[in-house]
């Protein structure tokens, strides 16, 4: 029986250690700026994207060193995710004071400082992926990882999704538009995490396609659950302000379908994610259980 709690603890520790090792230290002329980046990076977080990346690598690759080889890429994913939270929380965006139960970056360090902390983390992700002194796959694959991450994090992925999300506030949007926002704002980076793990693990075409289907389904489940949590969980449980979606007039799954149907849709997405893994052996067990875990965060 696979123990998901123990697995998550171990993988989180691996990622935390990687971030400590690979993130620049608070030294030198730029130490105050680096402090603001490290604050947001180490304030907490489930490290889901790096863990999905490592689990995807393990699914297609039996070599014991695959996690070590993937760790800088996994850390790059967390840098991108953290920067996106810092910028999303800014007064001009979602204007949030709390994140992971702590003051947001701009509350702690100031607005200009938070913009720059985000810019620094975003840029550092690509420094990590391209650094020849860090573990990683061979050169051509490193370039592929950069392409995948830049596309998923960029204007036709996460950044574009955040733009659409903000543009949609207090407007009536269609369910198709909501799906586009979810897919780009949240789904793209989750799918990229899995795609990057698969590429570094030298997945063949069939494996890549199966893992992409898994990533799309898990990304969808994740976003549906996020929408649900905003309605059902307390600020204390979330570590960020609850109920902000309804307050900002945002379209969400519960707003379209109500809570019960939304729960059913999340369950359906988890089932498709697990179905996509049918052809893999027991090395895919973490991915199977992670899909379930994402659903159980709330339901």
How many helices (H) and strands (E) the chain has is answered by 15, 2
List Cα–Cα distances, 62 to 55, 65, 67, 202, 208, in angstroms. Answer: 11, 9, 10, 11, 16
Strand-pair category, 98-99 with 102-103: antiparallel
**Which stretch in 14-22, 64-72, 144-152, 219-227 sits in contact with a copy of itself by CB under 8 A?**
144-152
Can you tell me whether residue 89 is helix, strand or coil? coil
Q: Which of 180, 241, 244, 272 binds a copy of itself (CB under 8 A)?
A: 180
Residue from 78, 89, 96, 113 in contact with a copy of itself (CB under 8 A): 113
- Closest C-alpha among 23, 79, 27, 24 to residue 50: 79
Smallest distance, a copy of itself to C-beta of residue 143, A: 5
From candidates 4, 98, 127, 271, binder to a copy of itself by CB under 8 A = 127
> What whole-number distance in Å separates Cα of residue 160 and Cα of residue 153?
9
- Selected from 163, 256, 257, 280, the binder of a copy of itself by CB under 8 A is 163
DSSP label of 171: S
Closest of 192, 224, 227, 226 to residue 52, by C-alpha: 192
Give the residue, chosen from 11, 40, 162, 168, that forms a contact with a copy of itself under the rule CB under 8 A: 162
Count of chain residues binding a copy of itself (CB under 8 A):
53
Rounded CA-CA distance 269/84 in Å is 24
Closest CB 175 distance from a copy of itself, rounded Å: 14
- By CB under 8 A, is residue 151 in contact with a copy of itself? yes
Q: Which is nearer to a copy of itself, 76 or 229 (CB)?
A: 76
Of 60, 13, 71, 92, the C-alpha closest to 202 is 60
Per-residue CA distances from 201 to 60, 150, 209, 216, 292 (Å): 6, 19, 14, 19, 23
Indicate the residue among 78 and 228 with the shorter CB distance to a copy of itself: 78
Residue choice 6, 25, 112, 205 for contact with a copy of itself (CB under 8 A): 112
Closer to a copy of itself at the Cβ: 83 or 214? 83
Q: Is 59 within 8 Å of 201 (Cβ atoms)?
A: yes
| Segment lying near a copy of itself (by CB under 8 A), choices 28-36, 63-71, 247-255, 267-275 | 28-36
- Residue listed under structure tokens 């396609």: 209
Binding to a copy of itself, residues 183-242 (CB under 8 A)? 184
Least distance to a copy of itself, CB of residue 272, Å:
23
Q: Which positions touch a copy of itself (CB under 8 A)?
A: 24, 28-30, 32-34, 37, 87, 90, 92-93, 110-113, 115-116, 118-120, 122-124, 126-127, 129-132, 139-140, 142-144, 146-147, 149-151, 153-156, 159-160, 162-164, 166-167, 180, 184
């Amino acid at each position: 029986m696979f123990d998901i709690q123990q697995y998550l603890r171990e993988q989180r520790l691996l990622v935390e250690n990687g971030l400590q090792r690979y993130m620049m230290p608070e030294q030198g002329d730029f130490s105050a700026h680096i402090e603001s980046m490290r604050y947001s990076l180490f304030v907490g977080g489930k490290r889901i994207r790096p863990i999905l990346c490592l689990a995807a690598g393990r699914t297609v690759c039996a070599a014991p060193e695959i996690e070590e080889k993937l760790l800088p890429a996994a850390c790059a994913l967390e840098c991108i995710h953290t920067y996106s939270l810092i910028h999303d929380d800014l007064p001009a965006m979602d204007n949030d004071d709390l994140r992971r139960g702590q003051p947001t970056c701009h509350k702690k360090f100031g607005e200009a400082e938070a913009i720059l902390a985000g810019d620094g983390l975003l840029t550092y992700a690509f420094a990590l992926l391209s650094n020849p002194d860090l573990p990683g796959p061979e050169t051509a694959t490193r370039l592929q990882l950069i392409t995948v991450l830049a596309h998923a994090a960029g204007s036709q992925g996460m950044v574009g999704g955040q733009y659409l999300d903000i543009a949609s506030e207090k407007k009536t949007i269609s369910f198709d538009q909501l799906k586009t926002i979810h897919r780009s704002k949240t789904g793209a980076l989750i799918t990229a995490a899995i795609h990057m793990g698969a590429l570094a693990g030298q997945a063949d075409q069939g494996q890549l396609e199966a893992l992409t289907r898994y990533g799309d389904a898990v990304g969808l489940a994740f976003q549906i659950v996020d929408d649900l949590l905003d309605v059902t969980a307390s600020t204390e449980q979330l570590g960020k302000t609850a109920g902000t979606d309804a307050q900002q007039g945002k379209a969400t799954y519960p707003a379209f379908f109500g809570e019960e149907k939304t729960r059913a849709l999340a369950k359906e997405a988890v089932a498709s994610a697990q179905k996509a893994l049918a052809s893999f052996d027991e090395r895919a067990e973490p991915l199977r259980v992670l899909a379930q875990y994402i659903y159980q965060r709330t339901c």
